[in-house]
Structure 1
């Protein structure tokens, strides 16, 4: 089964590029099947990692929280499972 972990944070105003750079620098203890980084208005940054694992796998590595002065609120995290195409 494929599980996608989503990590989303909102940077302090004007520091979106810095948050993108910080997120890209974060290494995970093992490599996911796929990893992508996105940005959006209001200095939001989204990282999605894909894993071949059970939905409730407790050992999947997640990105840490960024330094407190870099974000305006706590990181949001979600977990999804693939349901196939179509």
Structure 2
């Protein structure tokens, strides 16, 4: 089974580049390596990271933490999905 973990955060105004750099470093520091990883950015300084893992849905998987300091405007949003395959 493939499990996708999604992590989304909104940076303080003008802090999108800093949050993007922080997320890139945090992904590299995760214990274990995902099958795949993708990083996105959106208006309002939002950053989204999706990692794919070969694991059961309820597996204990490494997730990106909350950024320390004043990088974000609200708590991080996290979701877990089971992949149904690609088209």
* Residue deviations 1:52-83 (CA, integer Å, cap 9, x gap): 001111x2000010024110000000000011
CA-atom RMSD, angstroms?
A: 0.9
Runs (4+) of structure 1 moved beyond 2 Å? Answer: none
TM-score, reference length from structure 1: 0.94
Give the CA deviation at 1:36: 1.0
| Cα distance in 1 between the residues matched to 2:66 and 2:41 | 17
Give the CA deviation at 1:47: 0.3
List gaps (5 residues or longer) in structure 1.
Answer: none
Q: Which residue of 1 is the match for residue 65 of structure 2? A: 64
Residue aligned with 1:32, SS? coil
| Cα distance in 1 between the residues matched to 2:85 and 2:11 | 33
TM-score, reference length from structure 2: 0.93
Q: Which residue of 1 is the match for residue 14 of structure 2? A: 14
Residue aligned with 2:19, SS? helix
| Cα distance in 1 between the residues matched to 2:14 and 2:86 | 38
Residue aligned with 2:24, SS? helix
Matched residue count = 85
